[in-house]
Structure 1
Amino acid sequence: MIELSVRPLDAATWPAFAALVEANNGVWGGCWCVGFHLKLKGRTAAENRAEKERRAHDGTTHNALVFDGDECVGWCQFGTPDELPEIKSKRLYDKGLTTLPDWRITCFFTGKGHRGRGVANAALAGALDQIAQYGGGVVEGYPEETDDRKVSGSFLHTGPMAAFELHGFERTRPISPHRWVVTRTVSPS
């Protein structure tokens, strides 16, 4: 079993995060984990990298980075709705919206060679711990339900339902045939 630790994305952890993203082709073709911050259409991977680095240095992005020793092997991104306005299935999400959450958990990534080793679970736990340190509140996620079908990892960038349910999230409403809004309240630490 590997020893995993979780640290926030900031100026000190940026080099390890960037090394993981670079080793994985910019993640999903050059997203650099900014696709929930802003619309990606027409943007280059270099622009996305610069945007994410700026946000990491000025504190306007939040990722719970998972480390195996000194190597970043994955993450879970979270933030406020203002910080992460670009969620998947937004039209259906907005249609059923009554109140915005305090926090959103928008995406996960685990590097090649590290999948199936508990990285996403550690990342989600780390994100919830960091949210508690920021004062807690209502947290939403938008996981993919995989119970009775095989799903490509590229569709699981918003996380699998089982991981969210393991961490106490409850299904609130569907926003696509297999994606749900799930919620949980996190107490401040």
Structure 2
Amino acid sequence: MDTDMGTKGYAVAPLSVDTWGAFAGLVERHNGIFGGCWCTYFHPSCEQRGPGYEGSKAMKKAYVEQGRAHAALVMDGDEAIAWAEFGPPEELPNIHHRKQYDAEADLVPDYRITCIFVDKRHRRSGCAKLALAGALDLIAAEGGGVVEGYPHEIGEKRMSNSFVYNGTRTMYEEAGFEFIRPKGLRNTVMRRVVDPA
């Protein structure tokens, strides 16, 4: 399923076995993302996971093959240039500041958006917003529900992209999310309901 994303010619496609090569290309262009993570941090721990970059890559690929890893890929032709990882809490149980989050939780969402990443060649061009919108569209296609995101509060001081791994509060507000509470020093809990498509 591709979703047309406007005049730039970008489209959104779900992460799947068919799009694994495009996803892998994006990750490999950035040396595994955040020190070889391959966007595995938020998944459950895996005892069979091998060490380092290759271990994370193999684990992520296995999750994709098993249908246990979801993301919206922003595509420029055949090349993935951004993504937004999403999934139900059982698929993505590991979030930053989890002890505080669990202590203050008022409900369990149907979906979480845990990571947004944009190719360094395409930053500041709206691709993070496209990835977030694509994730919401894919969630709607799966039946919708309560969706949480954990974006960052950014003050006047610029933060490194490696710290803004889930976008900003402003971006989420523009996408219809409501601020629920702070989480940690500069993270937030934000929430919206996505209607089924």
Match of 1:51 among 50, 56, 59: 59
Letter of the aligned partner of 2:71 in structure 1? N
Asked whether 1:122 is paired with 2:130, we answer: yes
Partners of 2:50 and 2:182 lie apart in 1 by 30
| CA deviation string 1:88-144 (max 9, x = no partner) | 111111110121100000001111211111111000000000000111100000000
Partners of 2:142 and 2:148 lie apart in 1 by 15
Structure 2 length normalisation: TM-score?
Answer: 0.91
Partners of 2:147 and 2:155 lie apart in 1 by 23
| SS at 1:84 equivalent | coil
| SS at 2:192 equivalent | strand
Runs of 4+ in 1 over 6 A off after TM superposition: none
CA change 1:169–1:58 in 2 (3 A) is same
Partners of 2:168 and 2:182 lie apart in 1 by 14
CA RMSD, Structure 1 to Structure 2 (Å):
1.6
Partners of 2:147 and 2:65 lie apart in 1 by 24
| Structure 1 segment 15-26 matched on structure 2, within 5 A | 15-26=21-32
| CA deviation string 1:42-61 (max 9, x = no partner) | 84111110111111122110
What residue in structure 2 maps to residue 36 of structure 1? Answer: 42
Structure 1 length normalisation: TM-score?
Answer: 0.95
Partners of 2:41 and 2:182 lie apart in 1 by 21
| SS at 2:32 equivalent | coil
What residue in structure 1 maps to residue 33 of structure 2? Answer: 27
Letter of the aligned partner of 1:38 in structure 2? P
Asked whether 1:81 is paired with 2:98, we answer: no
Partners of 2:25 and 2:133 lie apart in 1 by 23
What residue in structure 1 maps to residue 3 of structure 2? Answer: none
- By how many angstroms is 1:174 displaced? 0.6
| Structure 1 segment 160-171 matched on structure 2, within 5 A | 160-171=168-179
What residue in structure 1 maps to residue 186 of structure 2? Answer: 178
Partners of 2:50 and 2:18 lie apart in 1 by 30
- By how many angstroms is 1:149 displaced? 2.9
What residue in structure 2 maps to residue 138 of structure 1? Answer: 146
Partners of 1:156 and 1:39 lie apart in 2 by 23
* Same amino acid, percent of matched pairs: 46
